[in-house]
Chains A and B, each alone.
Chain A
Amino acid sequence: MSRSTNLQKLTIAMPKGRIFEESLVFLEQAGLKVTQDLKDTRKLIIPVEDSHLEFILAKPTDVPTYVQYGVADVGVVGKDVLLEEERDVYELLDLQIGYCRMMVAGLPDFSPSEYPRVATKYPRIASRYFREQGQQVEVIKLNGSVELAPLIGLAERIVDIVSTGQTLRENGLVELEHICEITTRLIANRASYRMKSEAVDDIAQKFLQVIPKSPAGKR
């Protein structure tokens, strides 16, 4: 840490929730001090002693917002959130963790209705995807339990992230179309990327050391 302490202070926004545990392991592997405080997720701002780093724990969808406005210099966040939020940030690294797929799913006997409806937590991604497919659909924004929508007749299809597919199976749904693959990314604020370039490069370099080398072709 002796070298790092000469660097400018860096605030890192970390996502609570789905990719939090995996991200912590990743930080530890990258040689960053992960204190007990960080694992105790009730605290929201966690300074790291003897270091130039400070962590903010945020709701995943808010991570790009914190970074765009510069209250956090860098952030760790899923590509799903980046695609949905369309924030003006630098996307520096694919950390190759938190892997899942953005899928269209529905009941096995699905056939499109005259006025198709799609339920999702990701209205922008869903709208963009169906538009590209040349389909006009009504997108219904839900905040959770999206799998419920086809079962109770709210929508014929859903757009959601799928990792093992277990939740879909348990609800009798099947994957219909593959939209894209999702992994966790390191993002940076536009000004921090230049004003604190050494500190940002330092953390990117540390992360780069532990990124699992993926087989060629897998994105």
Chain B
Amino acid sequence: MAKPLVFEKPLGMRDILPESLAKHRKLESVLRGSIEKWGYEEITTPSLEYFDTVGAACVTLEGRMFKLLDKQGHTVILRPEMTAPIARVVSSLYKHVPLPIRLYYQANVFRAQEKEAGRPAEFFQTGVELIGEASVDGDAEAIALAVACLQAAQVPSFKIAIGHVDFIDGLLDEIVKDPQIHTQFRAYLHDRDYVGYRQLVESLELSDDERRRLHALMHLRGGKSKIAEAHELTINGKARKAVQTIASLWEALEAYGVTDHLLLDFNLFSNFNYYTGTIFEGYSADLGSPLLGGGRYDTLLEQFGRPAPATGFAINMDRLNQVTTLTTTRTEQRLVIAYAPDRREEALRQAQAARQTGRVVITRLLTDGDVTESLSNQAQDEIMILTAEEGEV
């Protein structure tokens, strides 16, 4: 690569200018307010983690990890997500803290981009982890909190799609005996290639009924009625259990009163390998990519030595920023005090007094040629000019 030009930043890295950052911080504070009301406590973890520990736990992201060597020669990564680092903390420093544990974070994560030079490789997430709660009430809490977050952030129109990893797995187990073909089906679902999926169904030697059921999976998205349809499709124990979980989850979510924002999607397929149960994804109108993602990960913590069920989600703050109707307009009237050299002390005293009352005060030395308009870049600012005392030069 050619030597970078002075204005260039590493691929996918961004500066955030004051106006955007103000909105970003506002969104963060709104979300923080909502999440803390549910009893979650904030945590931060290091930007760098070992590849062998946290890296191994989120192995699906390996191709997009920034890897470095530390001074001792260990491979370290810039954290690609926050769930695995939090699992590490809960299993070590927080080992003595009884479950359930409710934690949240507002953090930057790093995922290298290959295709578009301008796509962010560092981005911001707000997320929650509910650790130690195995019941559907835990899943329902996570989903209802996600709804509350999007409402607090004033996203005008959104939906959260809910699925379960065991349903697809169980249905395939029941009908497809060959593990290689099983893997092929999963690959098509992973790539969202429904054409390939259907062609594979057609190419196999199956009964008409088995064929019908595999095709029907593609249409299992909608409202509550899909639960019964899903139940009909399979007698596999794992898949049936998944349907039961979804049914009782839906009941819990009805109790939360959030089902208007939800849809069921039995063919929802997550790209993360650590999900073990209910998974969900949030979408907004006028935004091409998911706004949030989450789910149950009951085996992740045991990788760090403290087996515990867990669920959580992460909101992509950049995408939330694009669809929120919250605005940040600066309405406060700032005070600008321009002073002649001999009135510095008076000016600074006044400035300090005004700051005590909560005002924003900017002080500056008055120079020859200053006119009132040049003293402030914001029209609504109040301007005070302390010119030189008479008789003095």
Contacts and interface: CB of A to CB of B under 8 A. Distances in A.
Interface string A168-209: 000000000000000001000111101101000000000000
Interface string A128-142: 000000000000000
A126 B196 CA distance: 20
A189 B265 CA distance: 16
Contacts of B193: 91
Interface string B269-312: 00000000000010111111110000000000000000000000
A21 interface: no
Interface in B10-40: none
A37 B232 CA distance: 47
B195 interface: yes
Given A194-B161, A194-B263, A195-B283, A91 B288 contact: no
Given A194-B283, A195-B159, A217-B203, 12 more contacts: A70-B286, A89-B192, A90-B192, A90-B194, A91-B196, A92-B194, A190-B288, A191-B290, A192-B288, A194-B159, A195-B285, A219-B203
Interface residues of B, number: 26
Nearest to B319: A191
Nearest to B160: A194
A68 interface: yes
Interface string B206-235: 000000000000000110000000000000
B387 to A, nearest CB: 57
A78 to B, nearest CB: 12
A56 to B, nearest CB: 14
Interface of B: 157, 159, 161, 191-196, 198-199, 202-203, 221-222, 263, 265, 281, 283-290
- The secondary-structure label for the interface of chain A is mixed
Contact of B195 (A71, A91, A217): A91
A190 B159 contact: no
A152 interface: no
B194 A91 contact: yes
B195 A68 contact: no
A190 B289 contact: yes
Ranked 4 nearest A-B pairs via Cβ:
A70-B288, A191-B283, A90-B192, A91-B193
- The secondary-structure label for the interface of chain B is mixed
Contacts of B198: 94
A110 interface: no
29 contacts: A69-B288, A70-B288, A71-B288, A88-B192, A89-B192, A91-B192, A91-B194, A93-B195, A94-B195, A94-B198, A185-B195, A189-B288, A190-B283, A191-B283, A191-B284, A191-B288, A191-B289, A191-B290, A192-B288, A194-B159, A194-B161, A194-B221, A194-B263, A194-B283, A195-B159, A197-B221, A197-B263, A216-B202, A217-B203
Contacts of A69: 288
Nearest to B193: A91
B16 to A, nearest CB: 21
A190 B194 CA distance: 13
Contact of A94 (B157, B199, B290): B199
A68 B288 contact: yes
A216 B211 CA distance: 14
Contacts of A185: 195
Contacts of A197: 221-222, 263
Most buried by A among B192, B281, B287: B192
B269 to A, nearest CB: 11
A73 B133 CA distance: 38
A131 to B, nearest CB: 16
